[in-house]
């Protein structure tokens, strides 16, 4: 997983807070600098907005300011993306968070993602495999490296095309279920 750094105190500087509110784009992740380079220029801020229909929770968090991950924001994301069936969380890989944020920025929408699945415990993943057969045995969801998401205002194809432009992980199209899988594994695509 990527190193998470908040500069020690977990507090944002006045400059960082002002930059966060003034920013209009998400900048590149250090580990995916080439993939997200075209997003530079909107301020050194990254933001993630999501809603969970499973828990009714909303999140709108700035998790990167002035070249550093904001630990309290990452903890909030970890909790939000928890396995709601088991009420267990894990550190979500910041590379996956960055892919989701960059994709959201490219789609130029203000609505939050709807999160269908983030972290899955091995027990939940096994149950989903038995129930539908759609979950991979060694799913990256188990490692906190994947998310299944949708947007009401964008099609599966639109979301997937934007995610593929990141050239930074796996993108799966699940048109019949109306969601896109994004992960920080090897670059690959599947589905329609």
Q: Walk me through the domains of the chain, giving residue ranges and CATH numbers.
A: 14-191 (3.30.1380.10)
Mean pLDDT of 170-177: 95
Handedness of CA 86, 140, 102, 11 (dihedral sign): positive
Q: Output the pLDDT for position 21.
A: 40
Tell me which residue of 14, 9, 26 sits closest to 61, measured CA to CA.
Answer: 26
Higher pLDDT, 27 or 77: 77
Count Cα neighbours of 87 within 13 Å in the Cβ-side half-sphere. Answer: 1
CA atoms within 13 A on the CB side of 45: 19
Instruction: Return the pLDDT at 122.
Output: 92
Neighbours of 123 (CB within 10 A): 12
Mean pLDDT, rounded, for 180-185: 96
* Per-residue model confidence as pLDDT tens digits over 112-122: 999 999 999 99
pLDDT in tens, 133-168: 667 778 999 999 999 999 999 999 999 999 999 999
**Has this prediction a pTM greater than 0.75?**
yes
Neighbours of 5 (CB within 10 A): 11
| Residue 133 confidence (pLDDT) | 66
**pLDDT surpassing 60 at residue 3:** no
Higher local confidence (pLDDT), 88 or 16: 88
Average pLDDT (86-95) is 96
Strands 113-117, 68-69: pairing kind: unpaired
Single out the residue of 146, 149, 159 nearest to residue 51, CA to CA.
149
pLDDT value at residue 28: 35
């Amino acid at each position: 997983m990527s190193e998470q750094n908040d500069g020690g105190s977990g507090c944002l500087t006045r400059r960082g807070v002002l930059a966060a509110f003034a920013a209009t784009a998400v900048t590149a992740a250090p580990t995916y600098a080439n993939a997200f380079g075209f997003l530079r220029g909107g301020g050194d801020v990254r933001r993630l907005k999501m809603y969970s229909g499973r828990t009714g929770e909303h999140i709108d968090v700035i998790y990167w300011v002035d070249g550093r991950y904001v630990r309290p924001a990452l903890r909030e994301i970890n909790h939000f993306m928890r396995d709601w069936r088991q009420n267990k969380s894990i550190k979500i890989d910041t590379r996956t968070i960055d892919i989701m944020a960059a994709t959201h920025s490219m789609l130029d929408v203000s609505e939050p993602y709807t999160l269908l699945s983030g972290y899955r415990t091995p027990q939940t993943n096994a149950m989903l495999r038995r129930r539908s057969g759609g979950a991979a045995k060694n799913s990256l969801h188990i490692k906190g490296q994947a998310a299944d998401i949708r947007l009401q205002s964008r099609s599966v194809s639109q979301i997937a095309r934007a995610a593929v432009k990141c050239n930074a992980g796996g993108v799966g199209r699940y048109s019949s279920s109306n969601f896109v899988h994004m992960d920080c594994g090897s670059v690959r695509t599947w589905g329609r």
